[in-house]
Structure 1
Amino acid sequence: MTDKTEIKIAILDLYDGVANEGMRGFRDILERYKVKHNLNLSYQVFDVRKKAQVPGLEFDAYISSGGPGSPLESEGTEWEKKYFQLMTKLEAHNKSEAANKKHVFFVCHSFQLMCRWYGLGQIGLRRSPSFGILPVHMTEAGKKEDVFEGLAEPFYTVDSRSWQVINPDMDQLDRLGMTLLALEKERPYVDLPRAMMAIRFSEYFIATQFHPEADAIGMKLLLEREDKKQEVINEHGEGKYREMIERLEDPDKIMHTQSTMIPNFLDEAILKYQRVEAGD
């Protein structure tokens, strides 16, 4: 078993050089997954926004990160052109007769970029930033989504958005064969539309506007920062802030989401192919 097929994952870093916990979260998930399934798995990080680095089609799966700033202002930039050229190539590959389909998981900023690219909804600044450990509600389609398997309804995850995609164009989603999987928590006391929180773009592309890679360690560091603490208190109140700190210790909240969603994606993207190769 020393000549196991190498599995290569590309991580598209859209953080533009800004310090973050997301990239560590992705690496931790991949390292745990590699050990759990005894895989010859490697990953490579591409600095998409800062250095306009974009991988080719030689990877088995792709994870595209969140990132700071406006998902509108990058239109026409060199890095974004390269990014969408890659997505066009991946789509064409997946529509071809090739057996090794290329799965992509898009997170937050990447979700917003792709929604703009496909024309799926209205993109704009939130009235105030959303930051914290918050519930996300599945649609009926979301309850049947394999990547959500094992999650509760609602499930808890890290939401960190100044920008958002709202008012889904359901006709466009239908035309493109896409499925809305999850929505922002209900806010009956606020007369504002609920953001789209997860979409399956195709059999091989799935996206979330939240951060399934986030873990309790990174979130605790962020929530203890004075600016983030005030952000949460201003938006949700001090009681909610304390509740979020308590949720960090709850194995059924973000710890469960982090250990479930991206691993489910990897099962779909690479593990089933390994099983086919092994003749299981």
Structure 2
Amino acid sequence: MNIDKPEVSVAILDLYEGVANEGMRGFRDILDRYKVQHNLNLSYQVFDVRLKGQVPDTSFDVYISSGGPGSPLDSEGTEWEKKYFRLIDKLDAHNKKEATQKKHVFFVCHSFQLMCRKYDLGDIKLRSSPSFGVLPVHLTEAGHKEEVFKGLAEPFYAVDSRSWQVVNPNLTRIKELGMEILALEKERPYVNLPQALMAIRFNPYFFATQFHPEADAHGMSILLQRDDKKEDVIKEHGEGKYREMLERLQDPDKIVHTQNTIIPNFLDEAILRNIKTEVVH
């Protein structure tokens, strides 16, 4: 009896615009582990969306759209963004057809912000200072029921790296569109500022996080110990919090667990339910 390995194709949409980052390596590492764990013939292809205007077609099984630098407002009307949103619209239209294998998309950070602008879900604003570090994320009532977050603590810890944020959600529109806010940034009762949105389910197949679930503890540790990043964190949170972040990276229940949970849960939803293994006798 031979069991063929199921074939799965993943498109990684690189929105980093050529800027050095840890995110792309994180996605590859997760996909490589998932491929071995589930004995899949899984392949992935990277598309440089912002620098080269590369956008995949709709033939891939799964799509992952990365974070990236700069303002999520300034790209409005650019050629690459038009191509990007055309792809999203095509995938959405495909998913609305009956009897089709659905196309699941995971949006991270910059992609999260672009999608919130596309759907007009809230105010997209520049933070007074960048948020960077290993920080708690709070689940909403809907987040506690979310399968992609299954196995996470409340709060759970994630790598946060953003200069922009989505605040003041348009709850009427979110409800009209059938979307759900799943997570919010850490509570700051001593600051009179709105909590930023940290995760949204746009529909049964589109899932987005403002934080970086692909980040790994080793890469983050190297970043945190860079002089410029260390200075930013201490300025924003204090030296005690900086040391606490370094300790959190060693804790298997925090960043390691987040990386091993969220995107793999999403892939389970996107891939394992659709697999039909042919058994040849």
TM-score bracket for this pair, using the shorter chain length = over 0.9
Match of residue 239 from structure 2: 238
- The alignment covers a number of residue pairs equal to 278
Return the alpha-carbon distance in structure 1 between the equivalents of residues 195 and 128 of structure 2: 13
Q: Confirm or deny: 8 A CA contact 2:149 2:265 kept in the other structure.
A: yes
| Displacement of 1:221 | 1.1
Deviation digits for residues 206-265 of structure 1 (CA, Å, limit 9, x no counterpart): 000000000011101110111110110011000000000111100000100000000000
Are 1:182 and 2:177 counterparts? no
Render the CA deviation track for 1:43-84: whole Å, top value 9, x for unaligned.
Answer: 000000010100001100000000000000000111000000
1:177-200 CA distance string (max 9 Å, x none): 000000000001110000000000
Q: What is the CA distance between 1:97 and its match in structure 2?
A: 1.7
**Contact kept? 2:6, 2:277, Cα under 8 Å:** no
1:67-120 deviation line (CA, Å, top 9, x unaligned): 000000000111000000000000000001242100000000000000000000
After the TM superposition, which segments of 4 or more aligned residues of structure 1 sit over 2 Å from their partners?
1-5, 276-279
User: Normalising by structure 1, what TM-score?
Assistant: 0.97
1:121 corresponding residue in structure 2: 122
> Following TM superposition, by how much is the alpha carbon of 1:4 offset from its aligned partner in structure 2, in angstroms?
2.7
Runs of 5+ consecutive residues of structure 2 not aligned to the other structure: none
In structure 2, the partner of 1:257 is: 258
> How large is the Cα RMSD of the aligned pairs?
1.1
- Of all paired residues, the percent bearing the same amino acid is 75
Which residue in 2 is equivalent to 1:37? 38
Q: CA deviation at 1:11?
A: 0.3
- Distance verdict in 2 for CA 1:65–1:197, change over 3 Å: same
SS in structure 2 at match of 1:156: strand
- SS of residue matched to 2:130: strand
Alignment of 1:209-228 (within 5 A): 209-228=210-229
SS of 1:174's equivalent?
helix
Q: Quote the residue 2:139 is aligned against.
A: 138
Q: So what's the TM-score if we normalise by structure 2?
A: 0.97
CA distance, structure 1, for counterparts of residue 219 and residue 47 of structure 2? 22
Aligned counterparts of 1:179 and 1:29: Cα–Cα separation in 2: 26
State the SS of the aligned residue for 2:50: helix
What amino acid is the match of 1:48? V
Query: Which residue is equivalent to 1:73?
Result: 74
Output the amino acid matched with 2:31.
L
Q: Which has the higher contact order (CA 8 A, sep 6+)?
A: 2
Stretches of structure 1 that go unaligned for 5 or more consecutive residues are none
SS at match of 2:141: coil
Distance 2:109 2:260 in 1: 18
Q: Amino acid of the residue matched to residue 47 of structure 2?
A: F
